Amino acid sequence: MWIILSRFAFWLFGWKLEAGNANNYSKAVMIAAPHTSNWDLFFARAAFFLMRLPVRYTIKKEYMSSVLGGFLRSLGAVGIDRSPKKPGEERRSVVSAMADIIKDNDEMMILVTPEGTRSYVPEWKSGFYYIAMEANVPILLGYLDYEKKVAGVGPAVMPSGNYEEDLEKIQSFYRNIKGKYPEKGVK
């Protein structure tokens, strides 16, 4: 059902797909940038359905047991549980909890927006990078180019451990991709 609705939305709004090499991976951290509008989730989710990628996004586990839980699951939501693995241990970090979700599944791509907001930020949050490091998976570069009306997945970047160097490679890919509000994107 979501694939049919996604096809209709892409046709209606005039969007196209560029899948790249994303289908070569069953586990990854999928970043989505630039994230400048509420429309980003709508078009990104539709694109991932059309590409048939196992992209999921995380929300608090408590939301999954609510009335909306089934609907959220159908859109790719997965509940994040930060409780300790063993009694007496400290509460897990978001990074560790998300890395565990990837490690514990045969197919799992977790969607993360590195800006963390739809507003301009001078620096990205680094969590996406450390999730990929801990789960030992590549970072796939998902994008929405509103100027060209193209949704796609660019190259994969395997974290080397040198955050600054890897971040420059990643952000350089996004510099010519225009978000809905370009002034809010990567500089």
**pLDDT at residue 106, as a whole number:** 92
Q: What is the pLDDT along the chain (187 residues), one digit of tens a residue?
A: 888 998 999 899 999 998 777 778 889 999 988 877 878 888 988 998 899 988 888 877 777 777 777 777 777 778 777 677 777 778 778 888 889 999 999 999 999 888 766 666 667 889 999 999 999 999 999 999 989 999 999 999 999 999 999 999 999 998 888 877 767 666 5
Q: How far apart are CA 89 and CA 98, in angstroms?
A: 18
**pLDDT at residue 179, as a whole number:** 76
* Radius of gyration of the chain, Cα coordinates, nearest whole angstrom: 16
**pLDDT at residue 40, as a whole number:** 83
What is the dihedral sign for C-alpha 73, 78, 81, 85? positive
pTM attached to this predicted model? 0.86
**pLDDT at residue 117, as a whole number:** 63
**pLDDT at residue 123, as a whole number:** 79
Helix (H) or strand (E) holding 134: helix 127-135
Domain range annotation of the chain = 2-184
Cα dihedral: 99, 101, 102, 105 (round 10): 150
Please tell me whether the peptide bond between 34 and the residue prior to it is cis, using omega within 30 degrees of 0.
yes
Instruction: Bin 29: left if φ > 0, else alpha if -120 < ψ < 50, else beta.
Output: beta
